Amino acid sequence: MLAAMAAQRPDQLRRRHDLARVVLAYASALVVALAVGWALRARHPILVAAVADLVATLVVFGFSVGYDNSSLYDPYWSVAPLPIALYWTATAGGPGLRQILVLALIALWGARLTGNWVARWRGIGDEDFRYQEIRRRTGRLYWPASLVSIHLMPTIWVFLGLLPLFPALARPSPITLPYVVALVVTAAAIAIEATADRQLRVFLRTRRDPEATLDKGLWAYCRHPNYLGEVSFWWGLYLFGVAAASAWAWSAVGPLCITLLFVFVSVPWMDRRLLLRHPAWAQTLKSLPALLPWPRREKTKVRSS
């Protein structure tokens, strides 16, 4: 037992060292983003946030290239929204109760999602399977492809998803029934995603058959309840914007883009991977919808007369 513990220590130290590299990358990105924001402080807050967001993405991209691992960008999805939301709140002169509740939800969502990534990530040598596939497809053009598809596009999607928050955070408005609806939808989305992730962790830790797939709890009603929670979260943020200013209904482009990303990219990609690793997933594809919850459709047996 002592020998096993001793063998684990180098791996643990290496992983902590790698996580420190990630922290350095994001701290550098934040410092540069703040400097850009200060230089553009006279401009509109949306423009300032957009430029700072893109520059911060480029900083993280530089670290991704330096460590030859695009997964360094993965936490950006859940880390970037809170600083942007805090900045927009500051432009209103300080947070009221309405803004505090929205910020708390974003912080809760971001902390949980980032912590989930940290728990799964095994270090600099661990790159997402999707990025590895892009490497194989693009060859020498991998890093230009990574810049566009893995770094810049998700940053743009997330920023578009955050746009509805601007009227909700930067404009004074009372807590109305539509605001309460947005609060409930967003909180429920966070709970769905967290519950689905927890059920998956328990399943992976306790399953005896490596080819088995999870079909209990939330996973009995759709193939990807964690994705359902994520998509619903962004629609919840949209409801906050509409509750604050109905003229911002056009900002539905943000959550719509994120929904399309999951429906046409994330879900098919994950289904293909599960089908390769777990042949029984073919039946799950037939019996369960991808995102919208619905009881499992059991195969009907035809009786011969």
pLDDT average, residue stretch 261-276: 94
Residue range 24-49: mean pLDDT, rounded = 97
Q: What pLDDT is stored for residue 172 in this prediction?
A: 73
In a domain, 1, yes or no: no
Report yes or no on 216 lying in a domain: yes
Residue 235 has pLDDT above 90, yes or no: yes
What share of the chain has pLDDT > 70, as a percent? 93
- In the predicted model, what is the mean pLDDT of residues 287-305? 65
Q: How confident is the model at residue 212 (pLDDT cuts 50, 70, 90)?
A: confident
Over residues 70-81, mean pLDDT: 97
Q: Which pLDDT band holds residue 298 (cuts at 50, 70, 90)?
A: low
Q: What would the mean pLDDT of 109-132 be, rounded to a whole number?
A: 93
Residue 177 in domain = yes
247 occurs within a structural domain: yes
- Any domain includes 302: no
Confidence of residue 4 (pLDDT cuts 50, 70, 90): very low
Residues 6+ apart with CB under 8 A from 238: 161, 164, 251, 252, 254, 255
* Domain total of the chain: 1
Query: What pLDDT does residue 8 have?
Result: 53
In a domain, 86, yes or no: yes
Mean pLDDT of 156-183: 93
Cα–Cα–Cα angle for 21, 25, 31, nearest 5°? 140
User: In this predicted structure, what is the pLDDT of residue 208?
Assistant: 85
Q: What is the pLDDT of residue 305?
A: 30
Q: Are 78 and 109 in contact (CB under 8 A)?
A: yes
CA atoms within a 13 Å half-sphere pointing along the CA-CB vector of 96: 11
pLDDT value at residue 280: 85
Task: Return left, alpha or beta for 44; rule: phi > 0 is left, psi -120 to 50 is alpha, else beta.
Answer: beta
Q: What is the per-residue pLDDT for 302?
A: 36
Q: What is the pLDDT of residue 295?
A: 66
- pLDDT at position 10 over 80: no
Residue range 16-27: mean pLDDT, rounded: 95
Cβ count near 167 (within 10 Å): 20
Query: DSSP secondary structure string, 26-80?
Result: HHHHHHHHHHHHHHTTTS-HHHHHHHHHHHHHHHHHHHHHHHT-GGGGTTHHHHS
Q: Which of 12-16, 59-63, 243-247, 290-294 has the highest mean pLDDT?
A: 59-63
Domain around 167: 13-287
- Residue 25 lies inside a defined structural domain of this protein: yes
Q: Note whether residue 282 is domain-resident.
A: yes
- Residue 194 binned pLDDT confidence (cut-offs 50, 70, 90): very high
Q: Would you state the pLDDT for residue 51?
A: 98
pTM for the structure as a whole: 0.91
